[in-house]
Structure 1
Amino acid sequence: MNTDFSNIYINGEWRKGSSDSLMKNTNPFTEEELVTIQAATKEDLDEAYEAARIAQAEWANELPQNKRAVLEKVADVMQENEELILDWIIKESGSTYMKAISEFRASINILKESTTYPYRMEGKILPSQTAGKENRVYRNPLGVIGIISPWNFPFHLAIRSIAPAIATGNAVVIKPATDTPVTGGLIFASIFEAAGLPKGLINVIVGRGSEIGDEIVTHPTPRLISFTGSTEVGRHIGELAGKNLKKSALELGGNNVFIALKEADIDQAVDSALFGKFYHQGQICMAINRIFVHQDIYEEFAETFVQRAKNLKFGDPSKKDTNVGPLINRDQVDRILKDIEASVSQGAKIRVGGNAEGNVLEPTVITDVNNEMPLAKNEIFGPVAILIPFEKDEDVVQMANAYPYGLSGAVHSKNIEHATDMAHEIHTGMIHINDQSVNDEPHMPFGGEKDSGLGRFNGEWVLEEFTTLKWLSVQRTPRNYGPFISQLK
């Protein structure tokens, strides 16, 4: 398996990008340089899409057992190189060891689910309203898929699109986030190459969004753009894709709610909220953003939450007992500190944390927050927990739905039906009872509503995204076209 990630990957070849600009990849904790990559140009992108187009035409007709065999070999290669992959996830994205292990396992699971797709390209035979006709429906690959991967869960969220795309007979061109070019892209070129995937089916372009970001979407070759990232960028990608009559699968931001009803088990709810808020420093689209607690249990919940948050270990992500590592860059730290300052000026109280050293922001807990403060209105995407009291069910539902996001959420109550009834009222694509908001299973539909995205990943739902249907009819007996033809004879 190639471990030199200083080149881009086009049509089975590792080569330098054609741009004069260099892209330096650094460790967000130590700030040491990891690798420098010569950036790609529009001409490189064009070559990548052309290679994918040519290779896909043959791959679409490959036998299902051969497609599956390649994906099974990919899993073998990943497991053989687990320590290498974990090391890169930790040092490139600032992941803690615990998070890196979880991300790796989730990637193996989505890969295993994808090995079933070559045998799930099902069609149908349906009746016709025309005598002697047979209607057939075929499920075919789309062709070439452009994948733009994010920096927060780069390994898992890249393979979540790569594996299903390859399994369903497509080819891919990947543009990873500039903060994670290796774990969001280049490492997959190495893995799939080692697994024997035919050249041209996977291509990785590392370049600045300002130079090739629009072109990866507007290029005439890809039929679908799979993007995971911010709502702002996703909206732009969706606009470009729609203008060019392409499909888009967009998994975007969230302002996810965690609701502890008055009959919640406080101990269980606090544990769930701590995990859902501070896992991977809160840099997860599904992370809890607003914690709503019924006023009858607010003080007890807050005190328990604060005491346990004080025990979170933060700092060096390579240490196996670290709970909270660095944010991806200093811009993220400064953005969050600004919202903390603004919210405190409006009456919020910092109970724990609030300080940063380098890119490490201390686990922070803030109480006396209301739903109009900056920390509640904006997606935090960092290790800052805000606790908001509520009195009535209708109040918390209204506050939960006040903002134009709808990705994930959670409701806690010993009364399951009470929690379920409330969950139905929350406008979101996913929600969990007596758990936290960060859940992802390879066979369950993953995606959001409103400004949180379009489409669904995983299971049978990603098949719908990454394939297209063709209606083919067969007229088995001569058709009677009525007077249109009879008067001609």
Structure 2
Amino acid sequence: MAIDIKQVLKNLGIDQVNQGVSSGTKWFDTAGDTTASYSPIDGELIGKVKNATWDDYEKLITKAQKAFVIWRKVPAPIRGEVIRQIGLELRKHKDDLGALVSYEMGKIFQEGKGEVQEMIDICDFAVGQSRLINGVSLQSERVDHRLFEQYQPLGVVGIVTSFNFPVAVWAWNTALAAIAGDVVIWKPSSKTPLSAIATQKLIQKVLKENDVPEGVFNLIVAKSSVMGDQFLNDHRIPLMSVTGSSAVGKRVGEIVGKRLGKTILELGGNNAVIITPSADIPMALSSTVFGTVGTAGQRCTSTRRIIIHESIYEEVKEKLVNAYHKIKDRVGSPLDEKFLVGPLIDQGSVINFLNAVKRVQEEGGKILFGGEKLTGKGFESGNYVMPCIAEAENHYSIVQEETFAPIVYLIKYAGDIYDAIAIQNDVPQGLSSCCFTLNVREAEIFVSSAGSDCGIANVNVGTSGAEIGGAFGGEKETGGGRESGSDAWKVYMRRQTSTVNYGTALPLAQGIKFDF
């Protein structure tokens, strides 16, 4: 199926020059400069955006604060109904928004549509959660007293998203924040602003039809020099949700922590697959190939390391290299369904990839496949590389880092599952992990307290991709935050303990006597 990008842009309301500030129901002209968004696929100009100034932000957060006073009083199920309708609107435009995500970010069209499906799924989840925001009734030690806990709306939530999931991560946060009674200010990646603008335009219809107060769903496109540290340091925002590198997360944690604000940090991953002698090797290979080359290695959950037992190492290595040979001719425009691997987001990412290939060899590693920049017909944008497999050791400095590109390191282990887990855990990051084994003891050890130290630990399921039903996030330098499903909604609310005395006496806790 050929994708007509011009028609897609028209369907989504993307103009040649687009405003970068929206309060949900209104768009505002800005005094900021104009920047352009180019596709990493073919280097073509997609559209331009007028960036916001700090004055624009001040106007927007004032609207957000006023909207919160109204929105927090709206019953949660009614807030959920708005999210339900947003999910329906996304369903109508799934192909168009998925195509724009693909064209602006570079992931294949199937993944672009999958990202929109994540948005739809979290809307469905949030609708149900809007009727299940609960607390707990406790037993008071005092006669005629009721002791209970409940959750209250928090306030303005700042959301900073990354280019690799330009719309889904916004939805993970916004759907839950909105049903919790919060309002949001979304600052999207400057590399993918048009996907954010298209999303904001899609939800505008729903917001108007439901008389949602202006200022509940806010978008602001601005340079980091304008809305970087100042945004993070704003005391009017009790919660900042930021997706980015570990280095960015440390900066965010420092600034927000200094003002005692709350954070959700979704940062770097150095995700490993363990393949034991009892593994279903065809299954492991199938899953791992997607984990390594899907989204051209630009997922926080992409597989970075494959830890293989020495008894099957040569077999797995040979089969993995053969699998890569099959995708060798499947690198190309992600809008063409015959291709499975698209471009990196920009030249900086290409340079980082090539530097990683060079460094692993300098440290003693061996390149088994790929590792070069692709040129020629179809690769004119200069953002395409051939996915790389390298033999390495876990202690190499480059292996200890996250390279946001399709390079994977094969690491051999001897001994038992504990030895493999020790290697897996011996990196600063702790996002996603998996173990391929048909041995129930190995499987249970892997997900036990003595097993993986990551926020996500899978058995016979790869590192990449997660259902929205479970809380998403990692440990160590991955940040420790949680988004999406399970009870992640609680972080968007303030926890409150209350006591009600419905008796005629006033006893103090712990039996304290204080008569005067």
TM-score range, shorter chain: over 0.9
Moved more, 310-319 or 212-221: 212-221
- Are 2:99 and 2:113, in contact at CA under 8 Å, matched by a contact in 1? no
Answering whether residue 126 of structure 2 is matched by residue 114 of structure 1, we say yes
Aligned-pair Cα RMSD in Å: 1.9
**1:71-110 correspondence runs (5 A):** 71-110=83-122
Aligned-pair CA distance for 1:484: 7.1
Separation of aligned partners in 1, 2:422 and 2:498 = 49
Answering whether residue 425 of structure 2 is matched by residue 401 of structure 1, we say yes
Separation of aligned partners in 2, 1:229 and 1:346 = 27
Separation of aligned partners in 2, 1:353 and 1:485 = 78
What residue number does 2:404 align with? 381
Q: Percent identity?
A: 27
**1:445-484 correspondence runs (5 A):** 445-480=471-506
Separation of aligned partners in 2, 1:485 and 1:324 = 73
Aligned-pair CA distance for 1:348: 2.4
What residue number does 2:287 align with? 272
Q: 2:360 aligns with which of 333, 339, 343?
A: 343
Q: How does the TM-score come out when normalised to structure 2?
A: 0.90
**1:111-190 correspondence runs (5 A):** 111-183=123-195, 185-190=196-201
Separation of aligned partners in 2, 1:271 and 1:444 = 23
**1:62-73 correspondence runs (5 A):** 62-73=74-85
Separation of aligned partners in 2, 1:363 and 1:480 = 71
Aligned-pair CA distance for 1:456: 1.4
Answering whether residue 447 of structure 2 is matched by residue 416 of structure 1, we say no
Specify every segment of 5 or more residues in structure 2 that has no aligned partner in the other structure, as ranges.
Answer: 1-11, 375-381
Aligned-pair CA distance for 1:302: 0.8
3-state SS of paired residue (1:159): helix
Aligned-pair CA distance for 1:346: 3.3
**1:296-445 correspondence runs (5 A):** 296-312=311-327, 313-357=330-374, 358-367=382-391, 369-393=392-416, 394-424=418-448, 425-445=451-471
Answering whether residue 234 of structure 2 is matched by residue 228 of structure 1, we say no
One-letter amino acid of the counterpart of residue 252, structure 2: I
Separation of aligned partners in 1, 2:468 and 2:506 = 50
What residue number does 1:289 align with? 304
Aligned pairs, number:
484
One-letter amino acid of the counterpart of residue 462, structure 2: Q
Q: How does the TM-score come out when normalised to structure 1?
A: 0.94
Moved more, 323-332 or 65-74: 65-74
Answering whether residue 42 of structure 2 is matched by residue 18 of structure 1, we say no
Deviations 1:173-218 (Å, cap 9, x if unpaired)?
00001101122x3233212211124321011111111221112221
Separation of aligned partners in 2, 1:71 and 1:90 = 24
3-state SS of paired residue (2:455): coil
Separation of aligned partners in 1, 2:138 and 2:442 = 43
What residue number does 2:39 align with? 27
3-state SS of paired residue (2:420): helix
**1:188-267 correspondence runs (5 A):** 188-196=199-207, 197-267=212-282
Separation of aligned partners in 2, 1:138 and 1:378 = 41
Separation of aligned partners in 2, 1:152 and 1:166 = 23
Separation of aligned partners in 2, 1:204 and 1:130 = 49
One-letter amino acid of the counterpart of residue 419, structure 1: A
Separation of aligned partners in 2, 1:412 and 1:124 = 39
Separation of aligned partners in 1, 2:96 and 2:213 = 24
- Are 1:49 and 1:222, in contact at CA under 8 Å, matched by a contact in 2? no
Separation of aligned partners in 2, 1:16 and 1:374 = 47
Separation of aligned partners in 1, 2:446 and 2:140 = 45
Moved more, 259-268 or 323-332: 259-268
* 428 and 478 in structure 1: CA distance in 2 versus 1, 3 angstrom threshold: same
Separation of aligned partners in 2, 1:329 and 1:479 = 70
Aligned-pair CA distance for 1:321: 2.3
- Are 2:70 and 2:213, in contact at CA under 8 Å, matched by a contact in 1? no
Separation of aligned partners in 2, 1:426 and 1:229 = 23
- Are 1:50 and 1:221, in contact at CA under 8 Å, matched by a contact in 2? no
One-letter amino acid of the counterpart of residue 428, structure 1: C
Q: 1:3 aligns with which of 10, 14, 27?
A: 14
Aligned-pair CA distance for 1:65: 3.5
3-state SS of paired residue (1:454): coil
One-letter amino acid of the counterpart of residue 434, structure 1: N
Moved more, 161-170 or 397-406: 397-406
One-letter amino acid of the counterpart of residue 85, structure 1: L
3-state SS of paired residue (1:119): coil
What residue number does 2:57 align with? 45
